[in-house]
Structure formats: structure tokens, C-alpha cells
Structure 1
């Protein structure tokens, strides 16, 4: 028995194994990509059961999987994610947050108190800048435990209004 004949004869076992692998990966990823590949594998298995040649099984499986990935997956992802809270959290929630300078902030360091009550070590975004105490600033980015700040355009340079 040559190899191609053996593969064609036992293709149904390969299809079932692929479907099982894709479904296990899908359960771990929850991205619907491997679910679509698994359904494509199911189409290949059905084609095998109807006696289609191996090349046609592969074409059918690929076409069904691609069609599902591009047509069915986007609305499924949209439905899955529609209940998510879009509010940023953790470090992302700190970007753009107003703060008040507690001790002079220079390129060597300083302290700011964020509007959420946390006190952070701070440095200016521009190394040449310096911020005096009681000045209102905004967080531009976070690196490690340091908030990089910039002046707050909504308040005057002399201090709080």
C-alpha cells in the first residue's frame, strides 16, 4: 500500500484528530479562530465520508474555514466583547490624569499626587523642564514606578485657579 492511498484510507482519523486539537486550542484562546478551523475540518471530514478525494477534502476544509473566519468570526467577536467595560484600568487609567506637584520635579526626580490620591515619583517628559510645588500637571506616561509629567494646559502656569 503506498503512502497516498494509506492517507486517503485513514483521512477520517486525521480529520477527527485535527478537529479535536483545534477545539482544545479554541477553549484556551477564546478567539474563535480555531473554532472556525475546527468547523472547516468538520467540512473536510464530511467530504471524506462522501468519498471525495483528498485534494478536494483539503480545498473544502480550507474554503469553509476561510469563509467562516472572514464572515462569521467578526460578528461573534463583537457579540462576545459587547459587554466589556471600556474604561481603562491599571496604568492605562493613569495616562492623562491630573496631578499636583508635591516636591519640585526635575530630570532627577520629584513627587506628584495624582487625582486618585496616589503619590508617585515623577520626572518631566522634557528633561529640561522643572515643575515647582503646587503646580497642576498631567501624567503623560508611566515607566515602572515613575510618572512622566507635562504641564496641564487647562490651568495657568502660576498655579491652581
Structure 2
């Protein structure tokens, strides 16, 4: 089997394994293996030179690219601004709001809702305040 093909298979295996971890470590190693495959295909170097290309490129990716990618992936500050802006607003209960179901009209849109306290129930027509947004659910509390 040709050496570039072995490096290419290693790169694909590492990239596939990265999908299971999500840590970006194996993806950087896959980049190194891909560089080794390319250098092995273009240049007729001995196998140790391909290994050196793999090592150098992998270390450069791990030191230079991975920290920036991890920072970018973790830079989320929570809720997007439009959802955060809904907190503290008044909403009208459309369908009875209890621990497991309910709907409110909030800012002209229908939202699923649940009460802050699990034992509370709000009936249709009640006015509630949005305490916070949990995904696509408004967590509400009775006004007053």
C-alpha cells in the first residue's frame, strides 16, 4: 500500500474519532497526518521525514490553531440578545400553564411556558411576568 494512502487513512480515522470527542485534539493530529500525506505524495522523502512533517504540523496546529478555535467555540455568552430582552416582560396566558405544559403570548408570539415554582398553575387570561427564557420555553411568574 502506498505511503500517502496510509497517511490519508490515518487522517480520516483521526478526524472521524474527533467527532466522538469534540476536543479538537484529534482534529489537529488529522491535519498533521493530512500534511504528511501531501508531502509524501509530492516529495519522495523517506518515511521518517513524513513522520517529522506529521509531528511539526501537528504541534503547530495544537499550539497555534486549537486554542483560538476553542476560545471561539466557548465564547458564547448565554442567551442571544433578543431572547434576553424578553426577560421581565409581561405575557398573557393563552393555555393553562402548569409544570409540564402551557402557552403564553409574549411580544406578539406564542411561547411554550412553565411556572417558576412547579406547584403553581396559571389559567388562561392571567397576566404573568417572564422570569427567564429556557431554550424555547418562557419560565413565568404571576404579576404582583
Q: TM-score, normalised by structure 2?
A: 0.52
Whether contact under 8 Å (1:101, 1:134) holds in the other structure is: yes
Q: TM-score, normalised by structure 1?
A: 0.48
Tell me what 1:123 maps to: 114
Q: Which runs of 5+ in 2 are unaligned?
A: none
Residue 73 of structure 1 is aligned with which of 61, 65, 79?
65
CA distance 1:97–1:130, shift in 2 (3 Å): same
Q: Does 1:39 align with 2:28?
A: no
Tell me what 1:106 maps to: 98
CA distance 1:148–1:125, shift in 2 (3 Å): farther
Matched length = 122
Q: Which runs of 5+ in 1 are unaligned?
A: 1-9
CA distance in 2, matches of 1:60, 1:125: 58
SS in 2 for 1:149: strand
**Superposition deviation, residue 123 in structure 1:** 1.9
Which structure would you say has the larger RCO, counting Cα contacts within 8 Å and 6 or more residues apart?
2
Higher-Rg member (1/2): 1
